[in-house]
Amino acid sequence: MAKRSTAYGRGGPLVYLIAAVVVALTLGPVLYGALGGFRSNEQLARDPAALPDPWLARNYEGVLTNSSFWTYALNSTVIALITTVVAVLAGVMAAYPLARYQFKLREPLFLVFVLGLLFPAAVAIVPLFILITRDLQLGNTWWGVALPQAAFALPVTVVILRPFLMALPKELEEAAMIDGASRIRIFWRIALPLSMPGLVTVGVLAFVASWNAYLLPLLLLQGEMRTLPLGVADFSTQYSADTAGVLAFTTIAMIPALILFLAMQRRIVSGLQGAVKG
């Protein structure tokens, strides 16, 4: 890298200018929301482009003291956690024999998961709604949303985990096998701990997808069971006159995803790249 000579790979003023424009366009809407939350509706109406003057905390206080907000946040968290645990556990269990066993149906079985990538949730959404609310009686519950979400997260989980498991050294497992450990014990005690980095990657992907999901929760959840995206959408239609309040609510709802992203940035990025290369 250091050998690459001057003027060639380095940026001139034009490069920095373009970068600045891109940053402004990217962050502009986010900052507009965050700053707008510190203003009053009257300020916003007078000049949409101005800075808060004076800065008001009351919109944010209003959101944070709103018990519905915390209910939505709790629902989002629990649903995302169930989705993640179910998808990762079922996914790694399925990926393990696909990576470690030799059997005739191995590749066809893997193909089932690859094909699963092609089934968009939208295709199945109406029957899914009927299945969950009527047949399974899970409408308006955490599990009713989390289980189908986990099922739709499974293909990508298996597709990422299988090559990951294949790349793990076999020696430990073989040694344990000679000592008479069963496959299931080996899976729990050796393969699972070794594949932790891969599990974290697919786990973060499943969590973020669930946290951001809208369509399925929209059909299945009402009232006190709603998640944050539903809460944001409903709040913005219900209080459409209170622009500052909507902006404050939206900004606070962004924060958990942003924190998770910043903390897990490398995992998310490597997971997405793995998915593309795989």
Partner 1 sequence: MTTPVTAAPEATDPGAAVTRRAEARRVTGRSKAGKRRQRLEIALFVAPALVLMAIFVVYPVYSAARMSLYRWKGFGPMVDFVGLQNYVRVLGDDVFTDAVMHNFIIVFASILVQLPLGLALALLLNRRIRGRGLLRTIIFVPYVLAEVIAGVVWFQLLQPRTGLLETVLGAVGIPVPEQGFLGTPDLALTTVFVVLTWKYLGLAVLLFLAGLQGVPDELHEAAQLDGASWWQVQRRIAIPLIAPTIRTWIFLSMIGSLQLFDMVWILTGGGPANATTTMATYLISQGTQSGNFGVAGAASVVLFLIGFAMAVAYQFLVLRRDTKENA
Contacting partner 1 within 239-268 (CB under 8 A): 243, 246-247, 250, 253-254, 257-258, 260-262, 265, 268
CA 192 to centroid of chain Cα atoms = 22
d(CA 130, CA 164): 37
Q: Considering only CA atoms, which of 217, 197, 209, 202 is closest in space to residue 257?
A: 209
8 Å CB contact between 163 and 150:
no
Cβ neighbours of residue 102 under 8 Å, at least 6 residues apart? none
Which residue, 54 or 277, has its beta carbon nearer to partner 1? 277
Is there binding between residue 40 and partner 1 (CB under 8 A)? no
In the complex, minimum distance from the CB of residue 11 to partner 1, in angstroms, rounded to a whole number = 4
Is there binding between residue 64 and partner 1 (CB under 8 A)? no
DSSP string, 185-224: HHIIIIIHHHTHHHHHHHHHHHHHHHHH--HHHHHH--GG
The answer to whether the bond into 197 is cis (omega within 30° of 0) is no
Q: Which stretch binds partner 1 (CB under 8 A): 57-65, 66-74, 91-99, 194-202?
A: 91-99
Binding-site member from 9, 54, 169, 223 for partner 1 (CB under 8 A): 9
Cβ neighbours of residue 172 under 8 Å, at least 6 residues apart? 190, 194
Which residue, 56 or 254, has its beta carbon nearer to partner 1? 254
CA 220 to centroid of chain Cα atoms = 19
8 Å CB contact between 138 and 82:
no
List the interface residues with partner 1, window 98-127 (CB under 8 A): 98, 100-103, 109, 112-113, 116, 118-127
In the complex, minimum distance from the CB of residue 65 to partner 1, in angstroms, rounded to a whole number = 21
List the interface residues with partner 1, window 141-160 (CB under 8 A): 147-148, 150-152, 154-155, 158
In the 8-state DSSP scheme, what is residue 38?
T
Is there binding between residue 86 and partner 1 (CB under 8 A)? yes
Is there binding between residue 167 and partner 1 (CB under 8 A)? no
Is there binding between residue 75 and partner 1 (CB under 8 A)? no
In the complex, minimum distance from the CB of residue 96 to partner 1, in angstroms, rounded to a whole number = 6
List the interface residues with partner 1, window 177-216 (CB under 8 A): 177-178, 180, 183-184, 187, 208, 211-215
Is there binding between residue 269 and partner 1 (CB under 8 A)? yes
Is there binding between residue 271 and partner 1 (CB under 8 A)? no
Is there binding between residue 55 and partner 1 (CB under 8 A)? no
In the 8-state DSSP scheme, what is residue 225?
G
Which residue, 10 or 67, has its beta carbon nearer to partner 1? 10
Geometric angle at alpha carbon 46, from 44 and 49, rounded to 5°: 60
Q: Which stretch binds partner 1 (CB under 8 A): 21-29, 55-63, 65-73, 193-201?
A: 21-29
Which residue, 55 or 101, has its beta carbon nearer to partner 1? 101
CB atoms within 10 A of CB 255: 10
Question: Tokens standing for 152?
Answer: 């739709």
